[in-house]
Structure 1
Amino acid sequence: MTFATCDLCDANEDQLADGSLAVLPPVFRQFGRLIAFSGPAVTLKVFEDNTLVRTALEQPGDGRVLVVDGGGSLRCALLGGNLAQLAEQNGWAGVIIDGCVRDSLEINGCNIGVRALATHPKKSAKQGAGALHTRVTIAGVAVEPGYWMYADADGVLAAVCKLD
């Protein structure tokens, strides 16, 4: 699938106006080999604990995008090189994290797309706290399971349904 977020915004002004298409704030850094990626969202809400991130990425991705509400924490990483490799092996299109990543050079070697707020060398806790398949808020934008996520060099979009 070839798309440009700018073109999607131009072609879907009505959806932007009614809120069924949202542009996430430009706060994300790009990681991974895929500059552009899209797919239906699998949502996850965690805080400074990446146990459920691993659990989700161990499942077949089938071209989906894992959207992680990490509460915007800048105190530890929720995704590292090993989990990025796991995401690639299991067919995830990408990962969008309202939080940090680590092992950025390893992530950049993976054939997936990743967006995150920053890098942080500290690993997260491993207590298994969080919720999968729930409404999340990513940089102030609500995302429901199954929303379509689009990311490219110009931004990140969340759409209630797939855009053509």
Structure 2
Amino acid sequence: MSEQINTADLYDDRGEELESVAVQFQNLGGHTHFSGQVRTIRCFEDNALVKTVLGTPGEGAVLVVDGQGSLRTALMGDMIAESAVANGWAGVIINGAVRDREALARLPLGIKALGSNPKKSAKTGVGEVDVQLVIDRVRIQPGVMIYSDPDGILVER
């Protein structure tokens, strides 16, 4: 379980130790406040790696998925999100789309994404796990802390 952290207060306290992601992600999960150590995936319209990683013990981590901003296919739906809950993940941030929004909203999981699309993604497993991502000019390294609430996302430098 993530403690409820207010990103505005956290930024006031820690300032330049944190970077703010300006992309206006939508809050789609049952938890609006979540934080944890980062794990990462880079993929494009293919969610096989998302399913695999969220099927492993999360230990309170947050998975950041750089789907390169594509809204053409969903990178996570309710079944994969339920697996994330069962495996102890604190949240998932997707630079891309999800599906099953109503079901996702009922899950005890933090979920941010750009939007939704009912279309399934490919399942070939093309992509990279635990690599550095850059979203909105913010560098996101595996293992750093990330904080998310309705105000936005803060990442440790």
Shorter-chain TM-score: which interval?
A: over 0.9
Q: Which runs of 5+ in 2 are unaligned?
A: none
- Secondary structure of the corresponding residue to residue 24 of structure 2: coil
Structure 1 ranges of 4+ moved more than 4 A: none
Which 5+ residue runs of structure 1 have no aligned equivalent?
16-20
1:4 matched to which residue of 2? Answer: 6
Answer yes or no: is 1:113 the counterpart of 2:115.
no
Residue 104 of structure 1, CA deviation: 0.5
1:79 aligns with 2:81: no
- What is the deviation of 1:140? 3.3
How far is 1:49 from its partner?
Answer: 0.2
State yes or no: 1:57 paired with 2:54: yes
Shift of 1:138: 2.4
**TM-score calculated relative to the size of structure 2:** 0.95
How far is 1:2 from its partner?
3.4
Alignment size in residue pairs: 155
Is this contact kept in 2: 1:68–1:138, CA < 8 A? no
1:89 aligns with 2:86: yes
Judge conservation of contact 2:132–2:141 (CA < 8 Å) in 1. yes
Match of 1:134 in 2: 131
Residue of 95, 98, 101 corresponding to 1:101: 98
Give distance in 1, aligned partners of 2:70 and 2:4.
Answer: 32
Q: TM-score with structure 1 length normalisation?
A: 0.91
Distance 2:67 2:139 in 1: 13
1:4-58 Cα offsets, whole Å, 9 max, x none, are 100111111232xxxxx11011420001110100000001110100000001001
CA RMSD, Structure 1 to Structure 2 (Å) = 1.0
